[in-house]
Amino acid sequence: MLVKNLKAIYEGSLDYGVEGLGVYYNPLAEHLKKFTATLEPQKSADEQLKNFVLVIDEINRANISKVFGELITLLEDDKRLGEENEIKITLPNGEKEFGVPPNLFIIGTMNTADKSIALIDIALRRRFEFIGYYPEYENLNDDEATLLKKINETIFKEKKSADYLIGHAYFMKGQTIKTVLQNKVVPLLMEYFSGKTDIVSKIFADTTWSVTYDTTNFIWDINPR
């Protein structure tokens, strides 16, 4: 008797019938089914499943078809295990009857300002809810909050999109405002505006900070007014 054949009969993918080798395999397969049934915990109908969360950071940088593969359809609410249109598939590794349970939640993060990355596939957009996470000024002190608001107001006017707003995290590392502007904010603005120093300087026109580009030493001169 072969273990792989016994496994196939147990899973229902092989049938020897009631004669020949089936006389040996079938009773053993039935016995195994009865035995394993006693090992599986019985859940009450109203018992709540424990939720599990899978986080995929920078999901827009991934090859979505390789990340999800055949699972892209199974992510839909009505295709999950126990739902109205439940679907099970056989995975490329040979695992049979694979499905996605309803208590699995997938969170994918992305930076929407990164336009150099390919746009998210339409098939993925239909299966996820897209929730924007924008600057929270209340987490900053008054000077930082006022400055960041002014910067973002000007960015929005120039770019006509909230995708380019600068987040509050830069100002939450215990560094001085000058250091944050010098090492984080100004270099990012240079990327946004293709190295146009006049536009970057203009962004700070209505703030309490003077940000100008020194064309002699080719450095940024950043100081409070």
The residue extents of the domains of the chain are 3-39, 52-125, 137-224
68-125: per-residue pLDDT in tens?
A: 877 888 888 888 988 888 988 888 777 888 889 999 998 888 877 765 555 566 667 7
Q: How far apart are CA 137 and CA 144, in angstroms?
A: 8
pTM: 0.61
What lies within 8 Å, CB to CB, of 218 at 6+ separation is: none
Q: Where are the alpha helices (DSSP H) in the chain?
A: 3-11, 22-39, 64-68, 71-74, 122-125, 142-159, 177-180, 186-192, 197-203
Mean pLDDT of the chain: 84
Residue 61: per-residue pLDDT = 79
Cα→Cα distances 12→3, 17, 82, 150, Å: 14, 12, 20, 67
129-160: per-residue pLDDT in tens?
A: 888 888 888 888 899 999 999 999 999 988 88
Asked if pLDDT for residue 220 goes beyond 60, the answer is yes
State how beta strands 104-108 and 52-56 pair. parallel
Tell me what percent of the chain is helix, strand and coil, each rounded to the nearest 5: 45, 10, 45
**Model confidence at 12, in pLDDT bands (50, 70, 90)?**
confident
